Structure 1
Amino acid sequence: MSSVEGEVTSLRRESATARKDAAAARVLAGAADRDVSEFRQILTGHTGVLNALRETQIEHGQRLGKVEVRLDRLETKVDEGFTKLNLGMVQIGAQLQTLLDRE
């Protein structure tokens, strides 16, 4: 076998190996592309869930703000009611004392 024939044979082997390597690389690239696509779908789903959670938190914050306002009003009414009650008890006590002093 001549030197040229040996080189041609060697180049053919290298070419066959390169083709096999290229085919394997295409398979791996395809799998990687599918994986990336799947991860994008998952990420999109997670992003949607987080956005929905954010909207719910905003809504809850608004509702809590309204509840706090109502609670403050109720607290004011309760304080006013106890103030009136205490004043009434003082008046009743004074009237009872007046009656006791007459006897």
Structure 2
Amino acid sequence: MEVEHQIAKLMVQLSQSQDNEIGDGTTGVVVLAGALLEESEALLDQGIHPIRIADGFEKACNVAVQELDRISAKTTQLEKVATTSLGSEIVPTLLLRNGTPPVVERVAL
């Protein structure tokens, strides 16, 4: 995808990276990044230095990760893979490409 604007290029790269790494959530990361950029602009308009803004986002991220770790249910890696795969765009794409595997047909019964 050819894009001229630098921020738009970053958003495209972010979406592609999310799709390559996870296979889902591209809209969510772009919406989140857009919200962070919007907040950054407001903070810059108030005269706050970009480094302070970035540090604040990093601290907020650490707090969020700690809280998510605290409240998350403990699951096995296999459960995580199954849950993510069944809820993503990957499974329908594979089904369309390869046909319905027998296990999916049995679950559908």
Band the TM-score falls in, shorter-chain normalisation: under 0.3
Structure number with greater Rg is 1
When you count helix as a share of all residues, which structure comes out higher?
1
TM (normalized to structure 1)? 0.25
TM (normalized to structure 2)? 0.24
